[in-house]
């Protein structure tokens, strides 16, 4: 909030209605709510109010909101601006001579540059001078001083300097480069300085030296050349011994059909005496010499072999000293620990990025015996269920796209593995090959592709279900509609002008999951009455289970988990509690460590089945089963669109329990009872912004979202939250698959085209 002051704030009306109320973002015209009241009995009869804008701005106009009474108190005021707070240092920029109606606003032209704005009203009568207003809004932009721009650079006070000298940042060339950049406009990234220390902002030198394997002569940007890993790499070796890691393979002259001929594609890898593991090299096309992938099935005593092969492939493709990150895994095995040693290799985790369905890890791979090091990335797909295939292919397609987003940095082949190296591995490689074929030729041949894979490694794409999944992935690939944020408005306008949006929604509905043999505790006699809408119920795979003991309940609640863009089970969507299920909502919050509730019902719901689950007054405790709940505070966000209630709950039978704080977020009159949509999209953005700030303070427990039926409104808010997170992380958006994604656990979400448009 900007700092404001007014005449004689220590007495009378000026004290009761302080200057700060006119810059609190609240335009409510009731004086007791949010209005300032400059007041004076001085002989000069001048009442003034002043605000510090905290920086220099170019002003264009000033909007003043009047109170609900006494319109004459805004008659005849002036506005002045300057860079010093003293009144005699300010220059008049605007004058208003008319009357402003009560509860209305007036816009006064005020074209000036400065940091301080002063309102001044003078009268000539013998009565005390009053001035009332409830909010002051300044229209303008940050003023950029061009005095520090280089003489050769152009400048204007909106965009700043066209260019800055070495070590200085745009727009005003005041600020020095951040720790990781240097040079003109700070556009050049620092090299690999030791211990990630900053480089010189002017010339980029690393004063503390370079990280291992980087040259100081080039500001630590060039990886130091290392001799070939295998001294025998240039000579074909027919005899394998235990004194060195040796790989030998030959390419077939034609596509073999007999089982024994499959060994043409086998890489025999021997690490020590008595340990041999086979790795198959997969050819993309029978007429091509290009080999894309190496596949292996992992068991404990072959991990070392895989690290050897990954290191060997990087070494074989390591030319001219250029550092390559080219060994990439797809895996369904869990990487344990941050640092581990396999034989002569020390593997250290450098970074880890987690998404809902996959993890990207970067490792340094060091051969202690040869004193050589490489870096590599592992792409770990975690979204494959224990049995069968994923319900939708899009998570794997998004994973596949992320893998190939690093193609420019990769030099060697992909290392792809799963448990046996045929089922999931074959499925991924088939999708990879067919995706390229679709792009290049506009058509695909799944049968030929899988047949070719099986001539090179038996049982690739192992089951009928996996074979069908390849087709499903290619169908969904046709629906990928990724839009850059910068193009979103234009694309949306084009969709709305035609029938494409409706057609896209119809295709989306056609891809709803069809579930068979699903276990559903919701339909058990003891649980049927806990469902408000019997068609909107969870299956047991996606339902959060309750564990807090309660004599009148079991583990059931009508709720489902929904993954976010980066977190699994980021949301829990549920119906608003019924009279008999209020306790279950508190059990849900406690058992799944949720600290955030988004309420999408009206607070005045009269349906007896939409029960209240928290006190309406502060410092009053209500008991719900084993929990005591109190309302600590109720506030509204700055624009008064969202009510935030701070609640504290504790187990009543646990002594010394200080209680757990949660916050409930509710839209204020922005979503009429009979409308499928809120009044405008910005209210959802404001709601989710408030939720995100609270989540950042209190960990990443699941966000509980509820509405009357647990679908119609909750789905829209959940989809909006997912899309906003996607946009922030990737600077792109895919509405089609976001909706498909949240429908995975509750197909009844986003059932109207108008919701999809929103």
Residue numbers annotated as active site: 418, 707
**51 touches 4 (CB < 8 A):** yes
Handedness of CA 690, 692, 697, 699 (dihedral sign): positive
Beta bridge partners of 266: 280
Strands 266-272 and 181-182: unpaired
CA 722 to chain centroid, in Å, comes to: 7
Give the distance between the most distant pair of CA atoms in the chain: 113
Helix (H) or strand (E) holding 496: helix 488-497
Integer Cα distance of 716 and 712 in angstroms: 7
- Cis peptide bond N-terminal to 326, omega within 30: no
**Rounded Cα–Cα distance for residues 353 and 340 (Å):** 19
175-185 residues labelled b (16+ CB within 10 A) or e (exposed): eebeeebbbeb
Task: Say how far apart CA 256 and CA 520 lie, in whole Å.
Answer: 49
Between CA 300 and CA 419 the distance in angstroms is 11
**Nearest 5°: CA angle at 23, between 21 and 28?**
60
Contact 641, 687 (CB under 8 A): yes
Do the beta carbons of residue 661 and residue 557 sit within 8 Å?
Answer: no
Range list of H helices, 17-137: 31-34
Distance in angstroms (rounded) separating the CA atoms of residues 158 and 595: 42
Q: Is 200 helix (H, G, I), strand (E, B) or coil?
A: coil
DSSP assignment letter at 565? S
β-sheet bridge partners, residue 138: 62
What are 687-696's contacts with CB under 8 Å, separation 24+?
A: 687/598, 687/641, 687/642, 687/717, 688/717, 688/720, 688/721, 688/724, 690/637, 690/642, 690/644, 690/665, 691/596, 691/598, 691/665, 691/721, 694/595, 694/596, 694/644, 694/663, 694/665, 695/595, 695/596
């Amino acid at each position: 909030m900007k700092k404001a002051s007014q005449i004689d704030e220590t007495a009378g009306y000026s004290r009761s209605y302080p200057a700060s109320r006119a810059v609190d973002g609240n335009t409510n015209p009731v004086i007791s709510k949010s209005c300032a009241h400059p007041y004076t009995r001085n002989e000069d009869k001048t009442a003034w109010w002043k605000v510090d804008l905290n920086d220099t701005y170019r002003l264009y106009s000033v909007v003043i909101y009047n109170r609900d009474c006494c319109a004459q108190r805004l008659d005849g005021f002036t506005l002045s601006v300057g860079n010093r707070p003293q009144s005699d240092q300010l220059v008049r920029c605007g004058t208003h001579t008319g009357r402003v109606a009560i509860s209305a606003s007036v816009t006064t032209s005020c074209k000036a540059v400065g940091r301080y704005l002063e309102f001044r009203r003078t009268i000539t009568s013998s009565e005390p001078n009053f001035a009332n207003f409830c909010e002051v809004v300044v229209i303008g932009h940050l003023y950029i001083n061009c005095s520090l721009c280089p003489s050769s650079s152009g400048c204007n006070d909106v965009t700043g300097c066209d260019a800055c000298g070495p070590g200085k940042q745009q727009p005003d060339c005041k600020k020095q480069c951040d720790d990781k950049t240097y040079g003109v406009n700070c556009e050049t990234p620092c090299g690999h300085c030791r211990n990630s220390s900053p480089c010189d902002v002017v010339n980029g030198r690393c004063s503390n030296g370079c990280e291992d394997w980087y040259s100081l002569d080039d500001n630590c940007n060039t990886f130091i050349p290392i001799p070939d890993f295998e001294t025998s790499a240039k000579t074909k070796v027919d005899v394998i011994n235990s004194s060195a890691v040796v790989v030998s393979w030959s390419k077939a002259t034609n596509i073999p059909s007999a089982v024994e001929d499959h060994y043409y594609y086998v890489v025999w890898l021997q690490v020590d005496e008595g340990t041999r593991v086979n790795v198959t090299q997969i050819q993309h096309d029978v007429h091509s010499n290009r080999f894309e992938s190496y596949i292996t099935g992992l068991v404990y005593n072959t991990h070392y072999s895989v690290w050897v092969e990954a290191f060997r492939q990087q070494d074989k493709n390591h030319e001219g000293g250029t550092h390559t990150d080219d060994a990439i895994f797809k895996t369904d095995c869990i990487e344990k620990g941050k640092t581990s040693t396999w034989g002569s290799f020390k593997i250290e985790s450098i970074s880890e990025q987690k998404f809902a369905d996959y993890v990207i890890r970067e490792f340094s791979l060091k051969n202690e015996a040869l004193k050589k090091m490489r870096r590599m990335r592992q792409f770990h797909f975690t979204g494959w269920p224990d049995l069968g295939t994923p319900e939708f292919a899009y998570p794997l397609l998004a994973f596949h796209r992320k893998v190939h987003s690093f193609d420019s940095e990769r030099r060697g082949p992909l290392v792809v593995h799963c448990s046996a190296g045929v089922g999931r591995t074959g499925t991924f490689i088939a999708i990879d090959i067919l995706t390229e074929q679709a792009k290049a030729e506009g058509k695909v041949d799944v049968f030929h592709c899988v047949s070719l894979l099986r001539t090179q490694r038996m049982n690739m794409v192992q089951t009928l279900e996996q074979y069908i999944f390849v087709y499903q992935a290619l169908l969904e690939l046709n629906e990928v509609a990724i839009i850059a944020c910068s193009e979103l408005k234009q694309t949306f306008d084009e969709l709305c002008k035609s029938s494409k949006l409706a057609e896209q929604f119809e295709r989306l509905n056609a891809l709803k999951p069809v579930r068979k043999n699903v276990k559903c505790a919701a339909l058990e006699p003891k649980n049927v009455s806990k469902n408000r809408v019997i068609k909107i119920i969870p299956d047991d795979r996606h339902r959060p289970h309750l564990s807090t003991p309660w004599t009148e309940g079991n583990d059931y609640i009508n709720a489902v988990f929904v993954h976010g863009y980066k977190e699994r089970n980021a949301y829990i969507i549920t119906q608003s509690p019924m009279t008999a299920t209020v306790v279950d909502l508190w059990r849900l919050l406690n058992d799944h460590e949720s600290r955030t509730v988004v309420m999408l019902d009206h607070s005045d719901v009269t349906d007896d089945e939409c029960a209240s689950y928290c006190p309406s007054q502060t410092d009053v405790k209500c008991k719900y089963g084993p929990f005591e709940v109190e309302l600590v505070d109720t506030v509204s966000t700055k624009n008064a669109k969202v009510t935030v209630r701070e609640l504290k709950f504790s187990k009543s039978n646990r002594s010394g329990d200080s209680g757990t704080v949660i916050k409930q977020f509710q839209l204020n009159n922005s979503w009429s009872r009979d409308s499928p949509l809120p009044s405008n999209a910005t209210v959802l953005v404001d709601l989710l912004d408030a939720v995100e700030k609270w989540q950042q303070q209190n960990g990443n427990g699941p966000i509980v979202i509820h509405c009357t039926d647990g679908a119609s409104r909750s789905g829209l808010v959940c989809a909006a939250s997912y899309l906003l997170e996607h946009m922030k992380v990737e600077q792109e958006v895919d509405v089609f698959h976001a909706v498909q994604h949240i429908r995975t656990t509750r197909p009844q979400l986003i059932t109207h085209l108008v919701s999809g448009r929103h």
